[in-house]
């Protein structure tokens, strides 16, 4: 017996929870459909999730088809069947949850390491894809210039201080973490479609941006991250540089949605424009002192 339930949300794809009963062993999986134009990044994320899972990290890895493919092309897009990772989303106002998020993100970075072979060439640092997008996507000149400055600054800092570079999740929002209260060592991180090679600071900066309404979340997250990977401490003084880099990615993302007229994710064209304007503010205003770790 099978059951299919469409899951809510999803800015970048459409997902369904798939239940399968085989004898006395019921199982759950997640079917995920990405746009064909995003197929390269989607498949790259599937490869990274597979690598993480092979090292024991709960990543929502793809279940290969009978002929070994991680995804299949359909007229509607690119479809993959993923392992279901049980657990709950963390609470941004729980210090314990935020520490577990930091621990989980550090474990994820250790699991994938420098798995750059799974990342497409354009998504390896220093991100040639970003240059192309900033040249070709329609956006106001002041936004384009601010985004280009953020990219140049991140590249300059990386060349100067040589931070740890590896495969990053790329979009570590709260909904991507799966916390298992009965076994915290099995906390996981799913949805790797935005995975790229970059300084590992980028994921922490992304978390800071995505939890900006509760900025104190970052303090506990960093505490958990440093417990597993203390080497990050010396790099955190440059976190603001990568926060601006994250806002550059926001600008590119919402400019692309406007160009492609994408309104998935309970958004509208007006909201996409508002988010693009928000990205410009993030690129140009000083970083909140609370987001500047000592």
What pLDDT digit, counting tens, does each position of 10-35 carry? 677 888 999 877 666 668 899 999 98
**Residue 280 and residue 219 share a domain:** yes
Instruction: Kindly state whether residue 90 falls inside one of the protein's structural domains.
Output: no
pTM more than 0.85: yes
Do 141 and 236 belong together in one domain? yes
Domain boundary among 83, 113, 134: 83
Of residues 199 and 114, more confidence is placed in 199
Do residue 133 and residue 170 come from a single domain? Answer: yes
Considering only 49-63, 80-94, 104-118, 126-140, which range has the smallest mean pLDDT?
104-118
Instruction: Examine the fold and report which residue of 53, 83, 113 is the final residue of a domain before the chain moves on.
Output: 83
Residue 88 inside a domain? The answer is no
* HEC per residue, the chain: CEEEEECCCCCCEEEEEEEEEECCEEEEEEEEEECHHHHHHHHHHHHHHHHHHHCCCCCCCECCCCCCCCCEEECCEEEEEEECCCCECCCCCCHHHHHHHHHHHHHHHHHHCCCHHHCCHHHCCCCHHHHHHHHHCCCCHHHHHHHHHHHHHHHHHHHHHCCCEEEECCCCCHHHEEECCCCHHHCEECCCCCCEEEECHHHHHHHHHHCCCCCHHHHHHHHHHHHHCHHHHHHHHHHHHHHHHHHHHHHHHHHHHHHHCCCCCCCCHHHHHHHHHHHHHHHHCCCCHHHCCC
- Of 33, 56, 83, the position where a domain reaches its end is 83
pLDDT at residue number 3: 80
Q: Which domain holds residue 58?
A: 2-83
78 and 172 fall within a common domain = no
Q: What is the structure's pLDDT at 11?
A: 72
Q: What is the CATH number of the domain that holds 164?
A: 3.90.1200.10
**pLDDT digit string, tens, across residues 34-77:** 989 888 999 999 999 999 999 999 999 999 999 999 999 999 99
pLDDT, mean over the chain? 92
Instruction: Give the rounded percent of residues in the chain with a pLDDT score beyond 90.
Output: 79
The CATH number of the domain holding residue 43 is 3.30.200.20
Same domain for 212 and 105? yes
């Amino acid at each position: 017996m099978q059951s299919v339930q469409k899951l809510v949300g999803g800015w970048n794809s459409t997902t369904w929870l798939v239940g399968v009963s085989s004898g006395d062993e019921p199982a759950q999986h997640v079917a995920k459909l990405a746009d064909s134009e995003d197929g390269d990044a989607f498949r790259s994320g599937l490869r990274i999730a597979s690598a993480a899972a092979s090292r024991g990290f709960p990543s929502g890895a793809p279940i290969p088809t009978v002929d070994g493919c991680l995804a299949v092309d359909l007229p509607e897009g690119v479809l993959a069947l993923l392992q279901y990772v049980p657990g709950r989303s963390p609470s941004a106002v729980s210090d314990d949850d935020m520490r577990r998020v930091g621990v989980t993100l550090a474990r994820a970075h250790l699991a994938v390491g420098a798995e750059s072979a799974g990342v497409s060439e354009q998504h390896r640092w220093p991100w040639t894809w970003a240059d192309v997008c900033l040249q070709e996507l329609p956006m106001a000149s002041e936004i384009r210039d601010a985004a280009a400055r953020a990219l140049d600054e991140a590249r300059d800092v990386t060349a100067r201080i040589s931070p740890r570079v590896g495969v990053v999740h790329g979009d570590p929002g709260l909904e991507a973490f799966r916390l298992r209260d009965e076994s915290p060592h099995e906390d996981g991180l799913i949805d790797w479609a935005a995975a790229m090679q970059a300084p590992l600071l980028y994921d922490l900066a992304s978390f800071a941006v995505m939890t900006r309404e509760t900025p104190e979340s970052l303090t506990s997250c960093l505490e958990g991250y440093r417990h597993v990977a203390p080497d990050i401490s010396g790099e955190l003084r440059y976190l603001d540089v990568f926060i601006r880099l994250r806002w550059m990615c926001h600008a590119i993302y919402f400019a692309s949605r406007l160009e492609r007229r994408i309104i998935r994710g309970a958004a509208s064209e007006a909201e996409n424009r508002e988010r693009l304007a928000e990205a410009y503010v993030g690129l140009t205003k000083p970083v909140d002192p609370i987001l500047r770790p000592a």
